[in-house]
Amino acid sequence: MTPGSSSDSTDKLSDSTDFLPKVPLLAIDRQNGPLREQFRQVMDDVCDSGRFVLGPDVTALENELSTILDVPHVIGCASGSDSLLLALMALHIEPGDEVILPSYTFFATASAVTRLGGIPIFADIDPSTFLIDSDDVARRITSRTRAIIPVHLFGQTVDMDALLPIANGAGIPIIEDAAQSILSTWHGRCSGGLGDMGCFSFYPTKNLGGFGDGGFLTTTRDDLADALRKLRVHGMEPRYYHDVVGINSRLDSLQAAVLRIKLPHLDQWTTKRAHNAIRYTEMMNHCELEDVITTPKIDTRGRHVWNQYVIRVADGKRDALREHLMATGVGTEIYYPVPLHLQKCFANFGWELGDLPVTEQAAKETLALPIFAELEPTEQATVVGRIAEFFGRPPVPDQIACMEKGSNAVSQPRQVRRTGLIGRADDVRC
C-alpha cells in the first residue's frame, strides 16, 4: 500500500499493518536518547548532593528561565496544575468568585478555579485559532469577576492586543495558562510575562518536558512572587511559621537537573517544530486537501511554538479519518473531545449544549497530528499521504516527501539506542 492509493482497502489494511511505516504521535526517546549520558551525570550529582527538593538545581533552573523568558520572577512548583492553583491562591480567589477562561482547554485550567470554590465562567473561542475570544470575555465580565485565564493553546499566544485592554480597563488580573506555550511570544515578548502571572508545565509531552510532573510560575510583580514562593511551601516563612495556608508544591532537584540539560536545546527544538508545521501545510496543499482539511492559522504577531499541530476535518469525517490513521500506524489525538462546560463534574454550574457553539464544533472537528521536533520529513509524508488516501486525493509528490529537514540541514542517521517503548508517552496526555 503506497500513500495516495485507493482508500477502499482500509479494512484489509487493518488485518495486517506490520509492513507499513509507523509514525507515533510523540517519540520522546528520540529527544532523550542523545542526552542520556548527560542525564546520568546530573542524576549522579543530585544523588551525591543529598538535596532532592528545591535546592540549587531548582534555583539555577529558575534563574535560567528568568533570563530566557525575560521575566523577573520564576517560581518552580510540582506541576502545571499546581501552578494554576497557586496563581489563583495568590490572588485570594474565594468561594463565589468568578474566573473567566476557555472551555476548550485541558481540565486543569478549570479545576484550579473550582478547587478554591470559584465559579468558572467559560468564554467561547476564535474559530480559526481555537484561542479565547476576547469579545466574548468582555461580555462575560461581572462585578464578581476576579481573574481571566487565557490559554495559549497548542503553543500559540492569545491575541493579547485584544485581551489586555479589556482586562486592564476592568482592573482584572490575567493569569496566562502557558502550559503548552513555553517560548511563544507576542510582539517579541514571551508568554508568561504578558499578564500578571504565567503558569507552565514540565509534563513529559510538553515542549520542555521532564521525567515526571513539574511546573513553574512567572510574574513581573514582586508582591505576587513573594506570595507564590511562600504558598508553594505551605505558606511557611520563616521555617515553621505560617501566616497563610499554602500547599506542598515544590519542584524536585532531579527534575530541575534534567530540565537544565534540555533547556539549552529548547529554542532549536522549537524551530524544528515550526519547520515541521510549515512542511505539513505545504504537503497538504500539494495533496489538494484544502476543502476537507483546515490547517492551523498562524498569527504573525507572535511566535507559535507548536506543542500541537491541530487540523480541522470537515463534514463530520474526523473520527473516521482518525480510525483510518490508527489502522495505518499513524498516531493522533483529539484535544479535546468534551469541552469543559459539558463535563459531568461541572454540571452543577448549569451549562448546556449550544452555550458555546464555536467550542463545541471544534471539539467535534479537530485532530492533532505528530509534530515533535525529531519527526522526519518522510514520516510527515506518510501522515499526509494517509490523509490524502482517505480522501482519495493525489499523493505527496516525491520531491516534497524527500525534502530535508530545515533549508540547509542534512538528516543525520540517528544514534539513539531504541528502548522498544517508542511513542509510549502517547499513553498519557494532557
Ligand X SMILES: Cc1ncc(COP(=O)(O)O)c(C=O)c1O
Site residues for ligand X per CB under 6 A: 79-81, 105-106, 108-109, 151, 177, 179-180, 201, 203, 213, 215, 430
Query: What are the φ/ψ torsions at residue 231 (nearest 5 degrees)?
Result: -65, -30
Instruction: State the minimum distance, in angstroms, from the CB of residue 21 to ligand X.
Output: 29
For residues 56 and 249, give the distance between their C-alpha atoms in angstroms, rounded to a whole number: 17
For residues 105 and 335, give the distance between their C-alpha atoms in angstroms, rounded to a whole number: 8
Nearer to ligand X, 263 or 327 (CB): 263
Query: What are the φ/ψ torsions at residue 419 (nearest 5 degrees)?
Result: -90, -15
Phi-psi domain of 188 (left: phi exceeds 0; alpha: psi -120 through 50; beta: other): left
Nearer to ligand X, 216 or 391 (CB): 216
The type of residue at 239 is R
Nearer to ligand X, 207 or 276 (CB): 207
Nearer to ligand X, 213 or 333 (CB): 213
For residues 351 and 140, give the distance between their C-alpha atoms in angstroms, rounded to a whole number: 14
Strands 98-102 and 119-123: parallel
* Residue 80 neighbours by CB distance under 10 Å: 28
CB-based burial of residue 387 (10 Å sphere; 0-12 exposed, 13-18 middle, 19+ buried)?
A: buried
Q: Is the dihedral of CA 83, 89, 91, 93 positive or negative?
A: positive
Instruction: State the minimum distance, in angstroms, from the CB of residue 79 to ligand X.
Output: 4
Packing angle, helices 56-69 and 253-262, rounded to 10: 40
For residues 71 and 55, give the distance between their C-alpha atoms in angstroms, rounded to a whole number: 21
- SS3 assignment, position 233: strand
Instruction: State the minimum distance, in angstroms, from the CB of residue 105 to ligand X.
Output: 5
Nearer to ligand X, 106 or 390 (CB): 106
Query: What are the φ/ψ torsions at residue 363 (nearest 5 degrees)?
Result: -60, -25
Instruction: State the minimum distance, in angstroms, from the CB of residue 289 to ligand X.
Output: 27
Instruction: State the minimum distance, in angstroms, from the CB of residue 366 to ligand X.
Output: 14
Nearer to ligand X, 106 or 280 (CB): 106
Instruction: State the minimum distance, in angstroms, from the CB of residue 200 to ligand X.
Output: 8
Beta strand segments in 149-281, E = 175-177, 185-186, 189-190, 197-201, 215-219
Phi-psi domain of 397 (left: phi exceeds 0; alpha: psi -120 through 50; beta: other): beta
Residue with cell 464544533: 361
Nearer to ligand X, 198 or 215 (CB): 215
End-to-end Cα separation, the chain, in angstroms: 33
For residues 361 and 165, give the distance between their C-alpha atoms in angstroms, rounded to a whole number: 28
Nearer to ligand X, 21 or 212 (CB): 212
Instruction: State the minimum distance, in angstroms, from the CB of residue 154 to ligand X.
Output: 9
Nearer to ligand X, 3 or 80 (CB): 80
Return the C-alpha torsion angle 271, 421, 107, 324, nearest 10. 80
Instruction: State the minimum distance, in angstroms, from the CB of residue 64 to ligand X.
Output: 19
Nearer to ligand X, 131 or 400 (CB): 131
Instruction: State the minimum distance, in angstroms, from the CB of residue 83 to ligand X.
Output: 7
Instruction: State the minimum distance, in angstroms, from the CB of residue 112 to ligand X.
Output: 8
Report which residue's Cβ sits closest to ligand X.
80
For residues 353 and 205, give the distance between their C-alpha atoms in angstroms, rounded to a whole number: 31
Instruction: State the minimum distance, in angstroms, from the CB of residue 417 to ligand X.
Output: 28
Nearer to ligand X, 62 or 213 (CB): 213
Which cell numbers in the block locate residue 114? Answer: 473550582
